Amino acid sequence: MEEQNQNEERIPHTLDAAQIAEILPHRYPFALVDRITDFEPGKWAKGIKCVTINEPFFQGHFPGYPVMPGVLLLEALAQTGAAAALSLPENRGKLALFGGVKSARFKRQVVPGDVVELTCELVEQKGPVGIGKGTARVDGQIAAKADLIFAITDAKE
């Protein structure tokens, strides 16, 4: 991620839910990032997802034993990376679409009351296609991590 001089303090770049909605097209119930806590456009982003029992997916996953679906953790990581990619001026108004998921691993269940810390670093990009390395943590423990392949495209294509 970002290196900085030991003598200078960096002020985090943050985005609230309304600002995220200006960049990402996702809306309820698929807006899965509550806040971007810091980011560098085109490079990386950190965010949070506050998981509550009121999430619509808990109605069926699983009654009596609510666990956030792993695919939605991956989607939250992808949205975090998309916030970094789509915050570049040349990408405003575009979409970041999933192209694939590599090396996904789930290490810890995410349950109501958890605050998921999301990190996605955009490590490679060739033209519109790139790879983001994402990690989701709860209380410092890895819940999920994956390499996410994405494609930046115009919304009309």
- 3-state DSSP assignment of residue 79: helix
Look up residue 33 and give its two tokens: 């990032």
Contact (CB, 8 A) for 49 and 120: no
Active centre residues (catalytic): 61
* Helix-then-strand count for the chain, H and E: 2, 6
| Cβ contacts of 18 within 8 Å, gap of 6 or more | none
The Cα-based distances of 123 to 44, 130, 147 in angstroms read 9, 8, 10
Phi, psi (rounded to 5 degrees) for 94? -95, 175
Radius of gyration of the chain measured on its C-alpha atoms: 15
Q: What is the DSSP letter of 88?
A: S
Strand partners, 35: 48
